[in-house]
Structure 1
Amino acid sequence: MPELLRIEGLSAGYREARVLFNIELALEEGKSLALLGRNGAGKTTLLDTIVGTTTYHSGAIFLAGRDISRLRPEQRAALGIGWVPQERNIFRSLTVEENLTATARPGPFTLARAFGMFPRLQERRRNLGNQLSGGEQQMLAVARALMLNPKLLLLDEPLEGLAPIIVDELLAAMRRIVTDEGISAIIVEQKARKILPLTDEVVFLERGAIVYHDTSAALLASPETLDAHLSI
């Protein structure tokens, strides 16, 4: 498969403070990556840097062969980066349907397909964003990112604080996204054992640097390695 994302020698952070150090990473089209590590390891900062909302210090980020290191966030979105931040950032004063169509881009992922993936949203299509439960807001945030028809989907803690039944529904949707839809994805998640079966590769960050990179299957087959990294 052709390479979709390449990160070379990337250092970034917030103003003068550096959080990421010499990150080297590549992801092929149609592949998914679990990005793991304890709180403060730099996971969210790496996603934010791919999106373009942090301070770039050095290195390069390539999307489908194009250097996007110095592009603005809206330019990166136009080139195919979809993002679901921890805060979800849905439009609370718009209806579910308006949230999905307001920033939609042409492509195979349509309103009908969004509702097919998240039937709860179809039931609440006339509800305002602030009338949804936390789990429904998360579904809306994911569906809205898909309506951009992205080449690369970034998900930051998509399962955080959700009821078990909603977690199961989101996991099923994410499995469809990365397998049936073939959308490349990077998923930051604390629930490592729930995300690893959905992904092709896994990276552990520690203090802003990559300390482990392998296939998700290899890590799942080595519980002692997984436990060792989760306990860092």
Structure 2
Amino acid sequence: MPELLRIERLVAGYGEAQVLAKVDLTLEEGKSLALLGRNGAGKTTLLDTIVGVTTYHAGTIRLHGRDVSRLSAERRAPLGIGWVPQERNIFRSLTVEENLTATARPGGWDLGRVYGMFPRLKERRRNLGNQLSGGEQQMLAVGRALMLNPKILLLDEPLEGLAPIIVDELLAALRGVVTGEGMSAIIVEQKARKVLPLTDDVIVLERGIVVYRNTAAALLASPETLDAHLSV
């Protein structure tokens, strides 16, 4: 498959502080990657750097062969990045429907498809963002990212703090998007055993360095390796 994302010897962080140290990563179109590691390993920083909201120090980030390393976040977004940050960043004073359509771009994902995936959002389409539960806000954040019709979906701790029934609902939706439709994705998640079945490959970060890479199935089948890298 054609290569979608290539990161080579990436060094980045916040201000003068360097969090990522010469990170290498490749992702083909239609493939998905679980990005794992203990707290503070640099997972969020890597996603933030792909989006363009950290301090770039060295290395390259290529999206569809184009070097975007020095582009601002505003110039990267139209190139096909759909981002769901930990904070969700929904517009709390806008309705659900306004949130979904405010930044939408033409493509296969529209209101009908998002509402079909998340019926709760259709039921609450006239509610303001600040009137939603945490789980509904996460669904809205995912739906808004899909309405961008991205080439790659970046999800940062999508299951964090959610009730088990909402976790199951969100996982089913992500499975349909990533596994069923083959949308390229990078998923950061503490619940490794929940996300590994959804993804093709896995990378583990430790102190900003890639310390493990393999297929997701291989790591899932090796509990001792998983515990060695992720246990506190």
User: Does residue 101 in structure 1 map to residue 101 in structure 2?
Assistant: yes
> 2:29 and 2:62 mapped to 1: Cα distance?
13
Amino-acid identity (%)? 81
User: Does residue 65 in structure 1 map to residue 65 in structure 2?
Assistant: yes
After superposition, give the CA deviation of every residue in 1:170-197 in whole Å (9 maximum; x if it has no partner): 0001101102222100000000000000
Report the equivalent of 2:228.
228
> 1:137 and 1:92 mapped to 2: Cα distance?
9
> 1:152 and 1:173 mapped to 2: Cα distance?
16
- TM-score, with normalisation over the residues of structure 2? 0.99
Report the equivalent of 1:4.
4
Cα deviation for residue 223 of structure 1 reads: 1.4
Report the equivalent of 2:139.
139
Report the equivalent of 1:206.
206
Residue 30 of structure 1 aligns to a residue in which SS? coil
**Aligned ranges 1:1-232 → 2 under 5 Å:** 1-231=1-231
Q: Is the 8 A contact 2:179 2:199 kept in 1?
A: no
Residue 211 of structure 1 aligns to a residue in which SS? strand
> 1:56 and 1:7 mapped to 2: Cα distance?
12
> 2:189 and 2:178 mapped to 1: Cα distance?
15
Which residue identity is paired with 1:14? Y
After superposition, give the CA deviation of every residue in 1:4-36 in whole Å (9 maximum; x if it has no partner): 000011000011110000001000001110000
> 1:44 and 1:227 mapped to 2: Cα distance?
21
Which residue identity is paired with 1:169? E
After superposition, give the CA deviation of every residue in 1:24-70 in whole Å (9 maximum; x if it has no partner): 10000011100000110000000000000000000000001100101
Residue 41 of structure 2 aligns to a residue in which SS? coil
Cα deviation for residue 220 of structure 1 reads: 1.1
Aligned residues: 232
> 2:37 and 2:13 mapped to 1: Cα distance?
17
Which residue identity is paired with 1:38? R
Cα deviation for residue 231 of structure 1 reads: 1.9
> 1:179 and 1:43 mapped to 2: Cα distance?
22
| Runs ≥4 residues deviating over 2 A | none
Residue 41 of structure 1 aligns to a residue in which SS? coil
Which residue identity is paired with 1:66? R
Which residue identity is paired with 1:106? P
Which residue identity is paired with 1:35? L
> 2:215 and 2:56 mapped to 1: Cα distance?
28
> 2:107 and 2:195 mapped to 1: Cα distance?
27
> 2:110 and 2:184 mapped to 1: Cα distance?
18
Cα deviation for residue 125 of structure 1 reads: 0.5
- TM-score, with normalisation over the residues of structure 1? 0.99
Q: State the superposition RMSD in angstroms.
A: 0.7
> 1:108 and 1:196 mapped to 2: Cα distance?
26
After superposition, give the CA deviation of every residue in 1:130-168 in whole Å (9 maximum; x if it has no partner): 000000000000000000000011000000000000000
> 2:218 and 2:39 mapped to 1: Cα distance?
24
